[in-house]
Amino acid sequence: MIVWVNGAFGSGKSTLVEELRGRWPDALVFDPEVIGYVLREIVEVPTGDFQDLRLWRRQVAGFLVGLAEEYRRRPVLVPMTLVNPDYVAEVFGAIEAARIPLHHFFLNVPKDVLITRIDGRSFTPDAPEQDERVRRWCKDRIAACTAAADTLPAATVFLDGESSPGELAELVLGRVGG
């Protein structure tokens, strides 16, 4: 089983996944950004967003299918913003084609709260200019993430991202039977 936690940058995806992992010790955590970081070391990413690379989407789907098949009894938790409808269809379609149960959750958080959370984070503490570029990049994607809520798969479960991590974990576990 794959549990994908989606939402805008700053919505609490990683926090929720860590809360779930604490309550579900068998769970594996896979962050698809790792594949993006590896690809950036190998090939140019013309748009700056590794999700635009078809290879990233194929590798993420393949890796998740492999983890789910190899470790059948262990759920795989995925904290990742994925809102482009074509990319969602491609990645989720590959997972569904492999007959791996996929539970998709989306954290709804108001724009002002997202901005406050993003401004409060440090991505690269030793490089303040890079830190600010990352913050700007995250903020620039808020509108697309918010608008994507209307294009996500019908089975998506929308959660109030302002709820506590514990409350959210209980909701997720209740839905997936964990």
Single-letter amino acid code for the residue at 3? V
pLDDT in tens, 1-49: 999 999 999 999 999 999 999 999 999 999 999 999 999 999 999 998 9
- Asked whether residue 137 is domain-assigned, the answer is yes
Sign of CA dihedral 176, 65, 67, 99: positive
Domain that holds residue 27: 2-173
- Asked whether residue 153 is domain-assigned, the answer is yes
pTM: 0.94
* CATH number where 91 lies: 3.40.50.300
Single-letter amino acid code for the residue at 50? F
- For residue 132, the surrounding DSSP H or E stretch is helix 128-140
Domain count, the chain: 1
- Asked whether residue 178 is domain-assigned, the answer is no
> Mean pLDDT, to the nearest integer, of 61-68?
98
According to DSSP, the residues that pair with 160 across neighbouring strands are 108
- For residue 157, the surrounding DSSP H or E stretch is strand 157-160
The 28-29 sheet, strands edge to edge: 28-29, 76-79, 2-7, 102-108, 157-160
- Asked whether residue 136 is domain-assigned, the answer is yes
